Amino acid sequence: MTTDAAPLPAPAVPAGARPPLVTVRDLKVAYDGGPLVLDGVHLDLHPGETVALLGSSGSGKSTLMRTLTGFAPVTSGSVRVAGHDVPGLGRAGLRRLRADVGQVFQQFNLVGRLSVLTNVLTGALHEAGPVNLAGGFSAAHRRRAMELLDRVGIAHKAKEQARSLSGGQQQRVAIARALMQGPKVILADEPVASLDPKLSHTVLDLLRGIAREDGIPVLVSLHVLPLALRHSDRVVGLRHGEVLVSAPTARLSAEQLAPLYDHDDEEGED
């Protein structure tokens, strides 16, 4: 693991200096009357910080991510994301919520036959209107997309088909697309699971830099403990749907986090 990287700048908005942009209190989630997948979860995400979400398969990490964007039911408790009270949102409210939350996925979710630039531009569809669905993006949107591609280091690939890029490059495109939304929060669900170790560090450094420079909280779901310890400000660890660990990363060690990965855990909803 690389340890001699240049230090990151201080967060644009120090964690705790402003109210959290995400607050979850006593969250319980069960699907169709089944057992609880999340049980009494509390979570805060402050501007400028990167929080690593850890836990084995069946811990509830993916359910928590989906709850924050209204894709999983809230059985009880409160969930507030970027000013939206998630439980009970209607279709219009959910669209506004999801426009405020940038998402980065393990499998990139790019349209391979489209150009890199067009993939980034799709992040602006929520604000650009139906004309853009036919391909008529404005000059301002195109300039912004190119600026973001330059920021993630692949502006020279703008005209190439997304499927021609390496995995690490495709994930950078996906990050630029998320930023194109102008998000207030970024959720990254296993964003480096398909990448080699060197590229994993590059992508996580990029996400953490965005959090600090732009004051956007980033919640990143990870499986690899060294990556979480190197690339986060805080760690929230789930086991069997409950928060087992919640602490600043600097106070934690791999040994303290090992109980999150008890091999006796059953496979289930991640």
pLDDT at 218 over 50: yes
Query: Across all residues in the chain, what is the average pLDDT?
Result: 88
Q: What is the pLDDT of residue 135?
A: 56
pLDDT tens column, 65-123 = 999 999 999 999 999 999 999 998 999 999 999 999 999 998 899 999 999 999 999 99
Q: What is the pLDDT of residue 158?
A: 96
Q: Which residues pair with 51 in a beta bridge?
A: 219, 234
Per-residue burial over 210-245, b = 16 or more CB atoms within 10 Å of its CB, e = otherwise = bbbebbbbbbbbbbbbebbbbbbbbbbbbbbbebbb
Give Cα separations from 79 to 28, 45, 52 (angstroms).
Answer: 10, 12, 19
* C-alpha–C-alpha distance, residues 196 and 61, integer Å: 22
* C-alpha–C-alpha distance, residues 16 and 93, integer Å: 27
pLDDT tens column, 249-268 = 999 998 899 888 865 444 44
Confidence of residue 16 (pLDDT cuts 50, 70, 90): low
Q: What is the pLDDT of residue 13?
A: 46
CA 139, 143, 146, 150: dihedral to nearest 10 degrees? 170
Q: What is the pLDDT of residue 3?
A: 37
User: Domain ranges in the chain?
Assistant: 22-110+184-261
> Reduced to 3 states, what is the DSSP secondary structure of residue 262?
coil
pLDDT tens column, 44-59 = 999 999 999 999 888 9
Residue-by-residue DSSP string for 151-165: HTT-GGGTTSBGGGS
CB–CB of 214/185 below 8 Å? Answer: no
Largest CA distance in the chain: 55
Instruction: Provide the residue type at 15 as one letter.
Output: A
* 22-110+184-261 CATH pick, 3.40.50.970, 3.20.20.140, 3.20.20.100, 3.40.50.300: 3.40.50.300
Confidence of residue 126 (pLDDT cuts 50, 70, 90): confident
Q: What is the pLDDT of residue 246?
A: 94
Token look-up 């993939």 returns 119
pLDDT tens column, 23-33 = 999 999 999 88
pLDDT tens column, 168-209 = 999 999 999 999 999 999 999 999 998 998 999 999 999 999
pTM of the predicted structure, to 2 decimals: 0.88
CB–CB of 109/157 below 8 Å? Answer: no
Confidence of residue 1 (pLDDT cuts 50, 70, 90): very low
